[in-house]
Amino acid sequence: MSESKITLYHANWSLCSQMVRVALLEKGIDFRLHHIKLCDQYPEGENLSKEFLALNPKATVPVITHCGSVICGSQKIIHYIDSLQGKNDVHLYPQDNPSEFEQWVSDTTITEGVGFAETIGTILPVFSSPLIQMMVKKLPFKSILRILLRHPIKQRKYIFISMYFFSAAKKFPNLGVSNFIDELIKIENMLTLENDYFGKSFSHIDINMMCLFHRLKDLQLEDILSTPLTPRIRKYWMNLQSRSSYKEGILNYYGAREKQIVDSFHQQNNGELLIKLKDKLYELNNA
């Protein structure tokens, strides 16, 4: 392994940041951390600073710097990380069925340019939108003005602004219900009782699923993973939570602020979305 440490620019609660932290821990690669206070969560909006935009003009995390290179986006970063020699003999990309594997990685990643709530990776941010809106509404007006003037991604800019002035996110999760259940059934059918993970060994897909399933826990939607219709997913989720990288890469980054945000959201949550998800699951099963 190179003597030069990776520097990871991340955010504690960011799904894609979680994915990269878990990958680094699974490989056993040492890294330095630089926490970025995102504009939808903090008044400082450090991802809109000139310094950070020089690293990533899209103003998103995660970003890594290593041996003079700058790599943005969890999918590209994890692919790069897997090419490095770490302390652990772990390979996050299998040799067989590379095209099918890459498609699953893409489908479980929060990929820019993918249609609204089309894949499980793009559905979870939609489910998260009421929680994000709760944080956006607490920002001072000058922070919203800064987002309007400086955020380079028009779609995100307008979503944050509509969240601040209106309640645009309230109905967003409903738009992902049918596709999410379709994806959940697909995953249930892909899993096997013989393997603990998506394939024969823990991989990039499992990293992504670990983070996506944990976000369901944040949103009080975790029960959809433990129904009589999803026994393999229930076992799979238990296996993912048993890995040390789950605690070290995700749970350990929930400080007082993150816990307070999630607790506040739970107090406002009426469980309506979970009921809709379960109803849709049983509806499709009986069809």
Give pLDDT tens digits for 146-168.
999 999 999 899 999 999 999 88
CATH class of 6-93: alpha beta
Average pLDDT of the segment spanning 201-207 = 97
Q: How far is CA 35 from the centre of its chain?
A: 16
Residue carrying the six token digits 């099918």: 100
Percent of the chain at pLDDT exceeding 70: 97
pLDDT, average across residues 256-274: 93
Confidence at residue 99, expressed as pLDDT on a 0 to 100 scale: 82
Residue 113 has pLDDT above 70, yes or no: no
Joined together, the tokens standing for residue 238 give 């238990």
- The predicted structure's pLDDT at residue 285: 83
Task: Say whether pLDDT at 94 is over 50.
Answer: yes
How is residue 63 written in tokens? 């970003």
CA distances (Å), origin 251, targets 21, 221, 256: 11, 17, 12
- The amino acid occupying position 173 is P
Q: Would you place residue 114 in the very low, low, confident or very high pLDDT band (cuts 50, 70, 90)?
A: low
Residue 116: Cβ within 10 Å count: 13
Q: Identify any residues that bridge with 71 across adjacent strands, giving them in sequence order.
A: 64
Asked if the model's pLDDT at residue 261 lies above 80, the reply is: yes
Task: Map out the domains of the chain as residue ranges.
Answer: 6-93, 99-286
**Residue of higher predicted confidence among 113 and 245:** 245
What mean pLDDT value characterizes the chain?
Answer: 94
pLDDT at 3 over 60: no
Structure confidence at residue 1 (pLDDT):
40
| Entry pTM | 0.96
Least confident piece of the model among 116-125, 133-142, 178-187, 214-223: 116-125
Q: How far is CA 279 from CA 118, 177, 282, 287, in A?
A: 20, 10, 5, 12
pLDDT at 56 over 90: yes
Give the pLDDT confidence score for residue 278 in this predicted structure: 97
What distance in Å separates the CA atoms of residue 201 and residue 24, rounded to the nearest whole number? 17
Angle at 98 between CA 75 and CA 26, to 5 degrees: 50
pLDDT of residue 193: 84
Asked whether the predicted pLDDT for residue 2 surpasses 50, the reply is: no
Q: How far apart, in whole angstroms, are the C-alpha atoms of residue 282 and residue 287?
A: 9
34 — phi, psi (to 5°)?
-135, 105
Distance from C-alpha of 266 to C-alpha of 25, rounded to nearest angstrom: 30
User: Which pLDDT tens digit goes with each residue over 205-255?
Assistant: 999 999 999 999 999 999 999 999 999 999 999 999 999 999 999 999 999
Task: Pick 74 or 100 by higher pLDDT.
Answer: 74
pLDDT: which is higher, 97 or 155: 155
